[in-house]
Structure 1
Amino acid sequence: MKAIIIEDEEIIAQVLQNKIRNADPSIEIIKILPSLKTAKKWFIQNEEPDILFMDIQLSDGVSFELLEHFQLKCPIVFTTAYDEFAIRAFKVNGVDYLLKPVNDEELQKAIDKCRAIVQQQKPVVADITELMHALSHPQLTLKKYKERFVASIRNQWMPIPVAEIAFFVKEELQYIYLFNGERYLLDSGSLDDIEDVLDPDRFYRANRQYIINIDAVRTVKPVENSKLLIRLKAPYHKLEIDMSRERAPVFKKWMGR
């Protein structure tokens, strides 16, 4: 099978290409397209591939615009660092999605699904149309994120507005740290559960231990061993949070939203 990758971050594109080759060596990546403009030009001049891996948010626009210009029938796997496009509901019949950084197991499932569609020769235009309809009516798909958490303090419960939280951390238990320097024990929930109900425009999962608020970030510095070092604003300016450099392009794009 022949595949195209549309991705504006070169490092992410190369990592995805290597992961696809490892997952299925029979897939030939015939082109990596770095922008919406080059993608439109390529599809005008070439036949569509068997599979299309496509980042949603590109430097020069949203890749869904391709679907408005071309009636693509190949299965499409969207890649994104954000949940805001509400495409979980479209993980059927030729529309799939992968959250960055791409998980090997999820990638394998997406490839297997696409292969089955290609072998059955079933067009996916109807699903794309439904997706475009939902995206043009965001009020129908908008995810409602958590507005407050319940903290435990001296055998009492206390509501904490999300806007006051600088970061979440897993120590022996889960804690929230507020911008004013206060720390509270969370009443329940793992970091995975917490991440799922937070607005991804505001909060980022830096590693297995930390979820940080964009307003708490002071600087990010590359360090040895392919790591990034995140430094937070006062009163947490002495705290340093490690993050893998593989996440750097996604994290940089998140910070610049």
Structure 2
Amino acid sequence: MKAIIIEDEEIIAQVLQNKINDADPSIDIIKIIPSLKIAKKWFMQNEEPDILFMDIQLSDGVSFELLEYFQLKCPIVFTTAYDEFAIRAFKVNGVDYLLKPVNEDELKKAIEKCKAVILQRKPMVADIAELMKALSYPQHTTKRYKERFVASIRNQWMPIPVTEIAFFAKEVLHYLYLFNGERYLLDSTSLDDVEEVLDPDRFYRANRQYIINIDAVHAVKPVENSKLLIRLKAPNHKFEIDMSRERAPAFKKWMGK
């Protein structure tokens, strides 16, 4: 059987893949999809899998939106860190739900339910109205921003909490700098992708090369050529980031939030 995983945290997705392989080696994970945007594109270009393991709250939206775009018939196992979601919505639509961190025994039970559905040849029909109703409460409609990034160091992956990141920089490659001055290679294709998943109250896109954390800003000084010079706090004070003066009102407002 072929399956895909939709999960925006790379490490969590790989752990889930390993657990699925251990629980049932006959399941082939053909794709791990990290965002709602990429998932929509994938389903437009590919046939649906036999089983779908899907995180609910992704960095760029709620994965239920996929069920609005596509009439998926495969059994779905929702994964979530939010117990409230599961209680109110999942058993109406999916085969099962798994609370993070995923328990191996619960995973095996969910897979068995999926197999039973496939053998019965009864397509899953998602009640979109019911799912969206479950998300109508204010505490569940707040966008969830990325909490960690995966950095590469000495052929290893390391999770870096967003709270420790002073700024992101596009040099020859993409890097993140910590408040302690350490620099790590960032596994990202563009700063646009990074900006999209950051909390805009905490991070600001100063120019094409830098995204800065408000707590990293020491001072801002107008300079010649109608530009602003953003000075960062030590030990990152050697970085002086320029920004157009036209953006000064918006940047000042952001600083004062």
SS at match of 1:119: helix
CA shift, 1:93, in A, is 7.3
Runs of 5+ unmatched residues, structure 2: 141-157, 159-197, 199-257
For these two proteins, the number of residue pairs brought into alignment is 148
CA shift, 1:137, in A, is 2.8
Q: Over residues 185-223 of structure 1, what are the superposed CA-to-partner deviations in whole Å (9 max), with x where a residue is unaligned?
A: xxxxxxxxxxxxxx99xxxxxxxxxxxxxxxxxxxxxxx
Going from structure 1 to structure 2, the CA distance change for 1:138 and 1:51 (only over 3 Å counts) comes to closer
Is the 2:51–2:76 contact (alpha carbons within 8 Å) kept by the matching residues of 1? yes
SS at match of 1:97: strand
SS at match of 1:98: strand
Counterpart for residue 22 of structure 2:
22
CA shift, 1:92, in A, is 6.2
Q: Which amino acid aligns with 2:2?
A: K
Q: Which amino acid aligns with 2:107?
A: L
C-alpha distance in 1, partners of 2:132/2:63?
Answer: 14
C-alpha distance in 1, partners of 2:88/2:21?
Answer: 25
C-alpha distance in 2, partners of 1:108/1:70?
Answer: 27
1:108 aligns with 2:104: no
Is the 1:78–1:98 contact (alpha carbons within 8 Å) kept by the matching residues of 2? yes
C-alpha distance in 2, partners of 1:78/1:90?
Answer: 7
1:136 aligns with 2:143: no
CA shift, 1:91, in A, is 2.8
Going from structure 1 to structure 2, the CA distance change for 1:42 and 1:12 (only over 3 Å counts) comes to same
Q: Which amino acid aligns with 1:118?
A: I
Residues 178-197 of structure 1 correspond to what in structure 2 (within 5 A)? none
1:58 aligns with 2:58: yes
Counterpart for residue 46 of structure 1:
46
Q: Over residues 132-163 of structure 1, what are the superposed CA-to-partner deviations in whole Å (9 max), with x where a residue is unaligned?
A: 22233349x97xxxxxxxxxxxxxxxxxxxxx
Counterpart for residue 117 of structure 2:
117
Q: Over residues 215-239 of structure 1, what are the superposed CA-to-partner deviations in whole Å (9 max), with x where a residue is unaligned?
A: xxxxxxxxxxx9xxxxxxxxxxxxx
Q: Which amino acid aligns with 2:132?
A: S
SS at match of 2:116: helix
Is the 2:40–2:66 contact (alpha carbons within 8 Å) kept by the matching residues of 1? yes
C-alpha distance in 2, partners of 1:44/1:57?
Answer: 21
Going from structure 1 to structure 2, the CA distance change for 1:87 and 1:124 (only over 3 Å counts) comes to farther
Counterpart for residue 3 of structure 2:
3
Is the 2:86–2:97 contact (alpha carbons within 8 Å) kept by the matching residues of 1? no
Q: Over residues 60-113 of structure 1, what are the superposed CA-to-partner deviations in whole Å (9 max), with x where a residue is unaligned?
A: 111000000000000000000002324466436743110000000100000000
Higher alpha-carbon Rg: 2
Counterpart for residue 98 of structure 1:
98
Instruction: Give the percent of matched residue pairs that are identical in Structure 1 and Structure 2.
Output: 77
C-alpha distance in 2, partners of 1:99/1:86?
Answer: 8
C-alpha distance in 2, partners of 1:116/1:61?
Answer: 30
Runs of 5+ unmatched residues, structure 1: 143-198, 201-225, 227-252
SS at match of 1:85: helix
Q: Over residues 26-73 of structure 1, what are the superposed CA-to-partner deviations in whole Å (9 max), with x where a residue is unaligned?
A: 000000000001100000000000000000011111100000000000
SS at match of 2:83: coil
Residues 203-214 of structure 1 correspond to what in structure 2 (within 5 A)? none
C-alpha distance in 2, partners of 1:31/1:92?
Answer: 26
Counterpart for residue 77 of structure 1:
77
C-alpha distance in 2, partners of 1:77/1:45?
Answer: 22
Q: Which amino acid aligns with 1:58?
A: L
